[in-house]
Amino acid sequence: MRNGLWRLVSGKLPKPIREADEILKWETKAEKVAGEIYLLVENDQRVHFRGKEDDPIEMWKLLEAAHLSKKPGARFNAYDDLFSIRKQDSESLVDVGVRLEKAMQAIQNLRPANFTIEQLDEELQCMALIRALPDEYRHLSSNLLLVEKLDKAMILQAFRSEELNRQRGAQVAEMLNKVQAMRRGGRSFADTICFFCQNKGHMKQNCSKFKAWWLENNKGRGASGQPEGAKKAEGEKAAVVTEFAGQASTVDNFALTTLSNIFHWNADTGATSHMTPHRLWIRNYVPYKVPIRLADNSVIYSEGMGSVLFQPLINGQLVRNVEFTRVLHVPGLQSNLLSVLYLTKHKGFSVHISSDTMKFERNTTVWFTASINNDNVAFLNGSTINLNKSVHLVSMLPLDLSLWHKRLGHHNYDDIQFMLRNNLVVGLVLDSKVKPDPICEPCLAGKMHANPFLSSDNRATELLELIHSDVYDAGHISHGGYRYWALFIDDYSRKNFAMPLKRKSDTLGTFKTFKAYAEKQTGKLVKGLRDDKGGEYMSNEFDAYLKECGISRQHSVRNRPQQNGVAERTNRTLRERITALLSEAGLSKAYWAECLASLVHVLDRCPTAAVHGSTPFERWFGKKPDVGHLRVWGCLAYVHIQRDKRSKFASHMEKCIFIRYPEGYKGLSSTILKQRKW
């Protein structure tokens, strides 16, 4: 909505008709809007407005039609989200109200312009009927939500048809169970009677007379047995389907299921995305629902999306692991599909096919291969690493800039390379030159902000000459009962001290603790304190203590936090990094205090523009910091249980999450999964 661009996209700013200058201004703004939309949309979403890149209004309409479908199915999901809202433990009642407002706004955006109360009543009845269906009727509810208009009579008719189909299916399943029992028992089909020709010795599916009859009665139909008119109608309905699974089918077709289908990756040129039914293979899992059309023209739905770690086997040798991104979790799928076209179009791969092998190359390097069997089906050579097994391989992944970016609390890449070039720390090792992804979503989640204010040129010349301080309201209660933190920054070294508080009135006691520690460590005295003149700093007791210690005071002007910029900027950095780390780890906001302690530990070991050629740790302690012990915050950890803490035959390890670098201990602090124990 900035700079009036939204008025142009929404049609409120029409193109002028007569004045040439006004037309030129409008067209210039339209080009700017089109460029903004093009740059903000991901590559795989630009297909929606291909050929319309010079028309921002049409681009927006096409994107809105693709992602903001005003159909009953979309409104059903929005209503379901609304009625599923529950207050979280770390959430206030006001936050719940805000979430409800957002959910209601989403519902209103999905309603057509001429939507009436009578239509709402009819639609709510239909949605209640669909919502009452249990999980075993999931395919029925999914198909009903794809229709253009919900009608109560149509839904009741679909219910009756489903019941009849299930009754027939039960009879067929009983017959198949008998057949399988015969196979397991080693019995022959000598006494089996064909249901079509009534002769013994074979079943209907192998009956030559039945096959001849079927071919005779299905002339003019496609491979699926449908008339051409039906095919056309199905094609029109398929417009809502955004993903295709090539020649794959569902797990219901058990006769086609083999070990290769279940545990190996099929290199498929017809699939639009990577797909797998295995939830345990997928890392960084997020819910994601999208319709997928199968080879038999049926539609199933994905439930989530993430990445899968694959260990390739080339010429009998294990090579570097490959991570498949944007893998759809499709529980109803029979096999694992690797989309060849997605790799070539979006990931820059070249595929070379010979008589029995497919080679996947990028930058002249073969990353993995696939063997083509006698049925002309290609399966990847190698094995998939389960999510549980991949935990043991975290430390074996390449030590590239992306991994150190995460280990250092999402510190910027330039500073990491500066640390490496100038040998500022020990333990920082790179064994891969792979360039990092320019987009880091956790960083975007925590660091997107407006332009900063200019800083002052006046600097302290020795330790503790000037201390910057501020108290920050975290807005959430931590596990230890803290809501605030008090920040103290030494101006000369830029070393940070962040101490959690339960009340703002505890600020004086926290400052006394900091002062005693800092003066003992450095052998120097605190000479000055700069604050934002908040109430926690202006008490008579605080003022009397500073006068007694001979500490000068510097206050910022009212409503000008930029004058206390060092503390304010550091608080913003801490807030952004905590948001990024909590987002990446998937932990609740109640872990902010543990995250804060770990983040301060890391930041003191990273360079900053205010301390040229060194780090805050080195200026404070007079030696280079060691970062070899750093780990990705919130990662999975296996903790050894000491002998006196476990019973006989009990497990020697416990699965935990790493949350803190405890001061004074040679080790890391973790919290036990499903508990809050340190």
Q: 91-124, pLDDT tens digit by residue? A: 888 888 888 888 887 777 777 667 777 877 777 8
Average pLDDT, the chain: 78
Confidence class for position 232, pLDDT limits 50, 70, 90: very low
Pick 337 or 174 by higher pLDDT.
Answer: 337
DSSP-based three-state secondary structure for 270? coil
Look at residue 67 in the predicted model and tell me its pLDDT.
Answer: 62
The answer to whether residues 537 and 507 touch, using CB atoms and an 8 Å cutoff, is: yes
> H or E segment at 664?
none
The average pLDDT across 480-498 equals 93
CATH 3.30.420.10 in the chain, residue ranges: 444-621
Q: Which two tokens stand for residue 242?
A: 């955004």
Question: What are the Cα distances from residue 211, in Å, to 204, 207, 208, 616?
Answer: 9, 6, 5, 81
In words, the CATH class of domain 444-621 is alpha beta
Confidence class for position 241, pLDDT limits 50, 70, 90: low
Q: Is the pLDDT of residue 288 over 60?
A: yes
The Cα 592–Cα 580 span in angstroms is 11
The average pLDDT across 34-59 equals 77
Q: Is the pLDDT of residue 402 over 70?
A: yes
Look at residue 361 in the predicted model and tell me its pLDDT.
Answer: 92
User: For the segment 542-596, what is each residue's pLDDT rounded down to a tens digit?
Assistant: 999 999 999 999 887 554 555 567 888 898 899 999 999 999 988 899 999 999 9
Q: Which two tokens stand for residue 669?
A: 């602090």
Q: Is the pLDDT of residue 411 over 60?
A: yes
Look at residue 493 in the predicted model and tell me its pLDDT.
Answer: 93
Confidence class for position 199, pLDDT limits 50, 70, 90: confident
Q: What percentage of the chain reaches a pLDDT higher than 90? A: 24
Look at residue 187 in the predicted model and tell me its pLDDT.
Answer: 46
Confidence class for position 53, pLDDT limits 50, 70, 90: confident
Q: Is the pLDDT of residue 81 over 50?
A: yes
The residue count for the chain? 678
The average pLDDT across 617-626 equals 92
The answer to whether residues 76 and 145 touch, using CB atoms and an 8 Å cutoff, is: yes
β-strands 336-339, 265-268: how paired?
Answer: parallel
Pick 21 or 205 by higher pLDDT.
Answer: 21
Look at residue 450 in the predicted model and tell me its pLDDT.
Answer: 57
The average pLDDT across 137-152 equals 72
The Cα 456–Cα 92 span in angstroms is 39
The answer to whether residues 378 and 364 touch, using CB atoms and an 8 Å cutoff, is: no
Chain centroid, CA 658 distance in Å: 20
Q: Is the pLDDT of residue 421 over 80?
A: yes
